[in-house]
Structure 1
Amino acid sequence: MMKLIDKIKEKLSGLVEAFSRYPLTVAFLTAAAVVNAMAIHQDVDYSKYLLTFLVGAFLGFALQAAGERFSDKTSYRIGGMALCLVLTLGYFLIVRQYNSTSMETWIRTSVALFALLITFIWVPVIKSKVTFNQSFMAAFKAFFNSLLFSGVLFIGITLILTAIDLLLFRVSDKAYLHTLNIVGMLFAPIYFLSLIPVYSGVADKNRTSEQLEHNREKVERSSLCPKFLEVLISYIVIPLVTVYTVILIIYIARNITGDFWTDNRLEPMLVSFAIAVILIYILACSLENKFAEWFRKIFPKVLVPIVLFQIVASVLRIQETGVTHGRYYVIIFGIFAAASGILMCFIPVRKNGIIAALLIGFSLFSIIPPGDAFTISRASQVGRLTDTLIENKMLENNTTIPNPSVSEADKKIISDSVNYLAMMEYTQEISYLGEDFDVYEDFFDIFGFYRYEENAYRQDSIYLNLDQQSPIDISDYETFVVANFYIDNEKLDSVITEFENNGKTYTLTRDKTAVSGMLVLSDKTGSELMRIDMKEVFDHFDTSPGGDYQIIKDSMSAAEATFTQENDQAVISLVAMFLAIEKSGSEPIYNGDFYVLVHIKK
């Protein structure tokens, strides 16, 4: 019991110490939690303020780590806090000028926060007896400890709220979000910081021998690899990564003259492999066993050629797609991974801080103009779009000229570039598109054809809806009925409707023999007047490359949604209310609801 009480006291004292070590960080995290609570309660976007407070929190603990390592003066700490406030204010003044928080802002900020986190881990051990490997292990353990404690705390509070809701009185659904906000935004990061030891620094000369001994013991305890983690890394993770590496090498060897250079699926696999190898290498540097030693000797040499192949493949892909921020980061990470692999082959493990410095440098380079991911990708995609328009004589005197006869390859280039520029909110900067350009509403009018939009998983599934406000002209038809066609046709009645025209009775039925179904019009005697293969109807609306209906819209007009078939006895028009063409499997799956309009010829 006493041990448990001592443990609780130690944890509480650690939290109190975190408040005193990182006052600005705690203040900014509290502000972020308040902003999040306001957003949950009011359903308002406060993302600019949230990002600002997060930047302040990360700057706070990074500058505090630098202060602990290099100075013992109170003036330095006050100056660091002032610098933190000034930089945070500067960030806010930059983001507040935009109407919304764009994807570019989120990515730039995320990369900057990542760089500050690595700085926080690396700076305390610069030219220190404690290695970067030890500091990284301490941060690694602190992260998962805080994750575990926060998860248990959140689950416990959630169960209490649920019990109150079921047994006592109604609890608002937002209470769970507020709990997640407080635990995730406030408790988890503060608890993480409380587990980070005070490393040796200039201020050691002002500490008592007891304080120095306490700090030294905490550093040793925090940086010691637990037996569980050692077993996990050495005897489970390393063998799994080895098998994964063998599979990659076999694939590359078999496809080096073909698919390897154009296989988009392989790129994220290679990046994941590089991340895993570098992470495991740093963790394995704290281990002393044959598996860890073998990994440290072999895998840096394996990493370099694989990453070089990935860089070349990504550069070749740029020739087809132009530069995007995603591919920019793939390439720049590949360069970092190759450089890290070379360093790991030659430098001793205690010098791994160089890898951290390299990572910080590449991260900052990727977000600071003019060589940053966004300046380069924007210029690349605008240039690619402009060049393609000029080649097809679609741009003169800074004015676009619609051209529906453009080749399919150029249609895709134009569509891909415009899709990317619209996603990144860059289109307002392109004068010939106009400040109010809307990719959904204006694309056809400006370019003369409907845009391509490739599914992220290359499945090219189609989902289209009828604009409910679009009028349907039924003046040329005598019958109007709704018909449904779904993959589970067996649950639908075969007879859709019976109707009379000029004293004769006619029947619309579903023929369920075909995969997508048939629509059959017959007279009273059973003679077939018209048969429509619904696969032809669905294929008409296929918007994937090579399909018949090149349009991507949130909703279709009645004219766009209409498919008509005619013979010498009848005219049938099907107006698609909703349709879905699922292409995730080996065979497409067709589902749809249609208005069916029928005209019987005299």
Structure 2
Amino acid sequence: MNFYKKSASRIMHVSQAIIRYPLSSLCFLILVLLAIVSIHSDGSTIFDIETLAMLIGGIAAFTGQAIYERFFRGNQLIRWGIYIGVILFILLYYWLFLRNYTEINTPTYVRSSALISALVVAYIWIPSIKNKLSFSTSFTTIIKGYFISLLFSIVLEIGILSILTAFSLLIFDLDSRVYFDLTVLIFGLFAPLYFLSYIPLYQINGKGLSEKDKQAILVPKFLEILISYIIMPLLAAYSLILLLYIVSNLGGQFWNNNLLEPLLVSYVIIGFIILFLSERIESKSAVIFNKSFPKILLVIATLQTTASLLKINQFGLTHGRYYVIMFGVFAIISSIIYSFVQNKQNYVPALFVIMSIVSIIPPIDAITVGLNAQINFAEDILRENNMLVDNTIVKNEDISLSDREKVASSIEYLYNTDGVKLVDWLPNNFDIYYEDFENTFGFNHYDYTFTDDSNNQDFDSNTAEYAIVSLNDNETFSVTTENTDQFFYVSINNTEYVSVPEQNVPFDINNDDFILQVLSDDQSFAIKVLNNQNDETINFNLKFLLNDTFEYLPEVQQLPIDDLTFTEENQEGSIKVIVKNLETYADGTYSGKMYVFVSLNN
């Protein structure tokens, strides 16, 4: 009987959450409907942007509800005014940042993630403003509610999926999309409503809480043990490793690579989560952690933020490095607040919300700053190499590998962040993954690949399992085409991911038909000329290129043309091959590009 009472009570709490958060409930319901329509449109992304807008709307709505409950409780006119403000806010956000896209891409993802983070932190922070309720209490309650709702949703999902699977196997075959519909319904509607039903209606100055609400804000014993004796020691050990790495590499390597950059954001977030969760824990380890961690974080964040600022000179500013620097600044200021300012809790979430909102407001937002920085960075490199003249690209095959890497990196960033359309010196419909890049700049997008290994002092050249050779891009050369009957540009590939075992290219000389056959399978690597009877005229076996011709080294070997020119002759004619680039591996796979000149004796 207790089970049924508890179930009924939980359902009642969910229904009360719908009444308490009507606009959020409506947004989540529309989100589910849009997602289901997309699922039944053969996986189409027709409503992805609208679904994202509804997610943001639902979160903004319950944040608005928190404002009403903290400052204007009982005034229904202001409550509905806040809801109207939330609706206008979402419409404005959709109009400015979402309507021009048909699917979620990097700009929409970055901006929306920052906005959602700001709204969630604001939702946690608002109840504690000028209130005896502490931010850590509200934060702990939110964390508990999130994981409880997640656990319940997963259990519900597994249970219903098991029932549907049994029904489908034993009674009637169900459409597979039903399972996705169920997942969307549970995690898009039930989970957020269950989560909201768990959040107490906080009383001003902490008075008058019900028994249910008192239980919600308590720190469970399990959580105390988990944080004090497992998470804190792990985070302390992790911090020690970071400090040892920084101290041991302050002489040079730390400032030249970005190994720590991807770790800083997650380290800051996890560190502050543990700080807030541990503030109400009275164990000795929690007390030591709360006193020491902000100071350790201050050292790490200061050094890494400085290193990230220096890295801008090497590869320019991107939205990723923008957020690394932003989180570094946030960590520095918050660590100082935690270490030296009393009544510090409310300053930290306020700072996070402000910085997150700043990062999505043009023209100082992460995406706009990153795009402008990369455009300017690419233009500077191109001008240094005389490749940008009168706002027009001039091909240059002699550009250094390091500058190729910088140009390729910037153009790839612009392409992935929908910034190519902002660059008037790039051709229309520019596509970095096809031949557009090489046709535009004169060199391949991947020509700089593998160069990083040569700068790694810890890499043992004797362990290299590949040889990569290319024509020297700093050398001008000429090729005599006298007596050449036909020229070919051949691309060969026999790797784990792509394999083109045979290519046949027809051509004619003096009205006689021939075929250039390129074989690049596991057994043979050869270029043949076949006559109109499919008889071999010339057979140039190139397997010697895969054996001991080139030394296995962890770097690109740029060689003069004489070292990459090979010829096969017989009474019928000759084939001359000039290797443009070739990658050979110890496992027998290879790929590359070659110039082929065919001369026949007629």
TM-score calculated relative to the size of structure 2:
0.80
Matching residue of 2:139: 136
State how 1:62-101 maps to structure 2 within 5 Å. 62-71=63-72, 72-95=74-97, 97-101=99-103
Q: Cα distance, 1:454 vs. partner?
A: 7.4
Matching residue of 1:300: 294
Q: Note if 1:546 corresponds to 2:556.
A: yes
Q: Cα distance, 1:421 vs. partner?
A: 0.7
Compared with structure 1, are the counterparts of its residues 255 and 564 closer, same or farther at alpha carbon in structure 2 (3 Å cutoff)?
A: same
Q: Cα distance, 1:63 vs. partner?
A: 0.5
**In 2: Cα distance, 1:240 partner to 1:307 partner:** 19
Matching residue of 2:13: 14
Partners of 1:389 and 1:395 within 8 A in 2? yes
Matching residue of 2:55: 54
Q: Single out whichever of 121-130 and 463-472 deviates more from structure 2.
A: 463-472
Matching residue of 2:199: 196
Partners of 2:64 and 2:82 within 8 A in 1? yes
Matching residue of 1:444: 438
Matching residue of 2:505: 472
Q: Cα distance, 1:37 vs. partner?
A: 0.7
Q: Single out whichever of 130-139 and 255-264 deviates more from structure 2.
A: 255-264
Partners of 2:14 and 2:197 within 8 A in 1? yes
Matching residue of 2:40: 41
Q: Note if 1:364 corresponds to 2:357.
A: yes
**In 1: Cα distance, 2:52 partner to 2:450 partner:** 28
Partners of 1:480 and 1:598 within 8 A in 2? no
State how 1:282-431 maps to structure 2 within 5 Å. 282-348=276-342, 351-431=344-424
**In 2: Cα distance, 1:319 partner to 1:73 partner:** 54
TM-score calculated relative to the size of structure 1:
0.80
Q: Cα distance, 1:220 vs. partner?
A: 2.5
Output the amino acid matched with 2:308: S
Partners of 1:416 and 1:452 within 8 A in 2? no
Matching residue of 2:237: 243
Compared with structure 1, are the counterparts of its residues 532 and 169 closer, same or farther at alpha carbon in structure 2 (3 Å cutoff)?
A: farther
Compared with structure 1, are the counterparts of its residues 599 and 417 closer, same or farther at alpha carbon in structure 2 (3 Å cutoff)?
A: closer
Partner secondary structure for residue 472 of structure 1: strand
Partner secondary structure for residue 402 of structure 1: coil
**In 2: Cα distance, 1:331 partner to 1:446 partner:** 33
What stretches of structure 2 of length at least 5 have no aligned partner? Answer: 455-465, 467-494
Q: Cα distance, 1:536 vs. partner?
A: 8.0
Q: Cα distance, 1:192 vs. partner?
A: 0.8
Deviations 1:95-143 (A, max 9, x none): 4541434311221011101111111111112111110000000000011
Q: Cα distance, 1:475 vs. partner?
A: 6.1
Deviations 1:343-374 (A, max 9, x none): 111234x6412111110011011111222112
Structure 2 residue aligned with 1:145, among 144, 148, 151?
Answer: 148
Q: Cα distance, 1:593 vs. partner?
A: 9.3
Compared with structure 1, are the counterparts of its residues 539 and 90 closer, same or farther at alpha carbon in structure 2 (3 Å cutoff)?
A: farther
Output the amino acid matched with 2:398: S
State how 1:101-120 maps to structure 2 within 5 Å. 101=103, 102-120=105-123
**In 2: Cα distance, 1:181 partner to 1:85 partner:** 23
Q: Single out whichever of 15-24 and 261-270 deviates more from structure 2.
A: 261-270
Partner secondary structure for residue 567 of structure 1: strand
What stretches of structure 1 of length at least 5 have no aligned partner? Answer: 205-211, 486-491, 509-518, 522-529, 550-562
Q: Note if 1:273 corresponds to 2:267.
A: yes
Matching residue of 1:27: 26
Deviations 1:78-105 (A, max 9, x none): 1011111111222222345414343112
Partner secondary structure for residue 521 of structure 2: strand
Matching residue of 2:544: 532
Tell me how many residue pairs correspond in the alignment. Answer: 544
Matching residue of 1:525: none
Compared with structure 1, are the counterparts of its residues 531 and 436 closer, same or farther at alpha carbon in structure 2 (3 Å cutoff)?
A: closer
**In 2: Cα distance, 1:269 partner to 1:103 partner:** 20
Compared with structure 1, are the counterparts of its residues 232 and 82 closer, same or farther at alpha carbon in structure 2 (3 Å cutoff)?
A: same
Compared with structure 1, are the counterparts of its residues 133 and 590 closer, same or farther at alpha carbon in structure 2 (3 Å cutoff)?
A: farther
Partners of 1:103 and 1:424 within 8 A in 2? yes
**In 2: Cα distance, 1:117 partner to 1:318 partner:** 31
Partners of 1:481 and 1:595 within 8 A in 2? no
Q: Single out whichever of 152-161 and 106-115 deviates more from structure 2.
A: 152-161
Q: Cα distance, 1:420 vs. partner?
A: 0.7
Partner secondary structure for residue 139 of structure 2: helix
Q: Cα distance, 1:44 vs. partner?
A: 2.3
Compared with structure 1, are the counterparts of its residues 547 and 174 closer, same or farther at alpha carbon in structure 2 (3 Å cutoff)?
A: farther
Output the amino acid matched with 2:157: F
